[in-house]
Structure 1
């Protein structure tokens, strides 16, 4: 599907929805990884140019504004996808207008509060100015996210990915130009403004026939929306807290070296755990429509997405276990070698996150936000007890183990609540044994040989792929989509 194509109006209810979601999910994940690579490239160029002091200020500015970004979203985009999919077209259009207005107000108020904090905290004037500039970038990003909801619900995920990649490419190009021209800190922060504006305008053009571009400021409607989204927002907040709890525990209870190793591993995991949200999120509109119209189709879709997520998540865990040292060498070099062990342990957390994300999206499609909140609060409570205890006993490795345990708990609780919400919705679990066997066989060369990690990663991937295909762990529908794409 090209960027400008109009999708069929009944796509979500058609047999074409599944293949479209598979293609779109793969595009979203691939686009995210490409964007992460571009960000790493631009950071390497920019940080060398700015130097230590201004690099620290640059990170501070972006971190302050990122707090506003997290608090001004807290699940609004995911809820928006569900509401737009479930509502009639006229109501969906009005809802999106109200969501646009709410995002504007939340962002402006949040940036104003962070600006005030920056002044009261005594930050340098250049930092305060940088926060104001970055706030404009955040506003553009929030509006683009809201406007992109119709692209998600119509499964035009290639168009959405293209807009985001264009933003990244513009940012990288401007940063390289800035470095060549000798620009300073504020110029570096300002790079996000034109890049974000272009992405916003492109997204607005893409959805011009799908929704209104005019925000609606309706406090009464906002109050109703906030009340309905509050459990999910609290769940997102709890997820953010428990996911970063291990870093805090390691910083307080372990050595500085352990903190450095854990942080290096965490950076890799932080990138990878976003992948299931992008891939599984592509199926959310289908789940929502099926939850309202067709239980059989919902069970079928959940089973296929679960199978693919399990296969993909365990593959990532296998690669991290046998070849995680490659990623650590790229990030920190030989001095961070102990972090490879932590990354192997946290690979279990990544695999569990792939599965847990499936259950989270299923519960969201069923309008079970309170169940999602119960799950995340349980995980947070477990993390608050388990993480400090394990870190005190085993330092950074204890923190990695705690992260893995909490993610596995999330996945198990998610499965329980899905079954409780709608009995019969859980897919058959026979694929779990098949994937476990494939993972064990893929890891054997690492146990029996001393080959370089990169070679082991390639061998493990080949073995894993052969076994999951031989055991038919990958849904035939997914293989059909891949074959059609390859044959073109």
Structure 2
């Protein structure tokens, strides 16, 4: 196999990290922005084209699929990213095992999605949307795996053309649905269309450096990968639940009208997460390298640098959501959504905490503490459900936003204490 990446430095200064962030995270931000923008544009088109109740159904199908989608990913991307960084000579084997495991987990996710759709009493149109997004589980998970390969080699820029092509295809399909006054499932179809184009482009590109094959996979490697990934899969489910279960609880406790009011604020705040997520995509392989043998001064310095950058990029967003939230909502979604401004402001500051928590989670993952991450997220879910049950009946969608902020604050304290504890062992 021909390697595609760069040798990761043994010690990381803030300058080194900024250089890597500029190259790798810049590309991840661009591709993530294109993907989020495509989803957001189609969301706006659906909002303008569909009746309010039908748009609420569209939002509910999307939210349910996103909760289940993490099962298709099965936590493999983070584990494979760590493996790509630690064992560059075995990248083809890692990628092969990753794709096989994702095929199995995607089938499981589709079954779970069907159960959730039945429980939420999907309408016939929503069931059509279910079928489209269930098929997209595998397409989306393969896309992430191929991007992860380039990301681990600090060459995420190579994935840009394929991801941009997928985003353009998704928007074009959504625009066609809008122009033709198509029903709700047509807007949901833009998701698998975009990921299908992205997979085709990324597959052709990636085969220039590695050739994934079932012959490179093995049961032993699959079991080892699954053992490392399952705590992160559970953690991923918990994270999505305590962020997105608010939508499901709103539907049950306040109705689809509350879901429609909450979705614009939720989507606007979620869109920014691609920036700290791109930073995470660079810091994880670097931390995995500096902490591969346990706590180290270089790893502690890298963690502090990552947290400093996360603060610098996220705090302005929180301020912007508080100050400009109503202006943005009114001009993007219309005057009827002015009442969602408070929720957007609250979710903006929850997003700041999420950006910091991602870096703390990275440090624990680099230290092979994925099971601790899982238990932290279990506590977070309990906090979030409790807060939602108390706040939604009283404050509707504003209560859902406050529940998210409370959850992320608890998460920040727990993760921060764990990282400080383990990294302090460097000096003992």
- Shorter-chain TM range is 0.7 to 0.9
CA deviation vs aligned residue, 1:346-375 (integer Å, no higher than 9, x gap): 322111111111101111111111221232
CA deviation vs aligned residue, 1:364-397 (integer Å, no higher than 9, x gap): 1111112212322222232333443344555544
Shift of 1:416: 0.6
Distance 1:107 1:95 in 2: 18
Contact preservation (8 Å) 1:100, 1:215: no
Question: Residues 132 and 340 of structure 1: is their aligned pair in 2 closer, same or farther, counting only changes over 3 Å?
Answer: closer
Distance 1:325 1:224 in 2: 49
**What SS class does the counterpart of residue 422 from structure 1 fall into?**
helix
Contact preservation (8 Å) 2:56, 2:260: no
**What SS class does the counterpart of residue 163 from structure 2 fall into?**
helix
Indicate the larger mover: 55-64 or 79-88. Answer: 55-64
Contact preservation (8 Å) 1:259, 1:396: yes
Contact preservation (8 Å) 2:391, 2:400: yes
Residue in structure 1 matched with residue 7 of structure 2 by the alignment: 10
User: Following superposition of structure 1 onto structure 2, how do residues 204-283 of structure 1 map, counting pairs within 5 Å?
Assistant: 204-215=203-214, 218-247=218-247, 261-283=261-283
Residue in structure 1 matched with residue 373 of structure 2 by the alignment: 372
Shift of 1:332: 3.9
TM-score, length of structure 2 as denominator length: 0.82
TM-score, length of structure 1 as denominator length: 0.73
CA deviation vs aligned residue, 1:220-259 (integer Å, no higher than 9, x gap): 4333322222222211111122223444555566698766
Contact preservation (8 Å) 1:22, 1:282: no
Contact preservation (8 Å) 1:342, 1:400: yes
State yes or no: 1:111 paired with 2:110: yes
State yes or no: 1:319 paired with 2:308: no
Distance 1:330 1:38 in 2: 18
CA deviation vs aligned residue, 1:319-370 (integer Å, no higher than 9, x gap): 1111111222135433332321232233221111111111011111111112
Shift of 1:27: 3.4
Contact preservation (8 Å) 2:364, 2:370: yes
**What SS class does the counterpart of residue 105 from structure 1 fall into?**
helix
Residue in structure 1 matched with residue 152 of structure 2 by the alignment: 153
Distance 1:119 1:422 in 2: 46
Distance 1:248 1:115 in 2: 15
Say which structure, 1 or 2, has more relative contact order (CA 8 Å, 6+ apart).
2
User: Following superposition of structure 1 onto structure 2, how do residues 286-435 of structure 1 map, counting pairs within 5 Å?
Assistant: 286-292=286-292, 295-391=296-392, 396-423=397-424
Distance 2:390 2:327 in 1: 30
Indicate the larger mover: 71-80 or 263-272. Answer: 263-272
Distance 2:180 2:385 in 1: 48
Gaps of 5+ in 2: none
**What SS class does the counterpart of residue 338 from structure 1 fall into?**
helix
Distance 1:390 1:126 in 2: 31
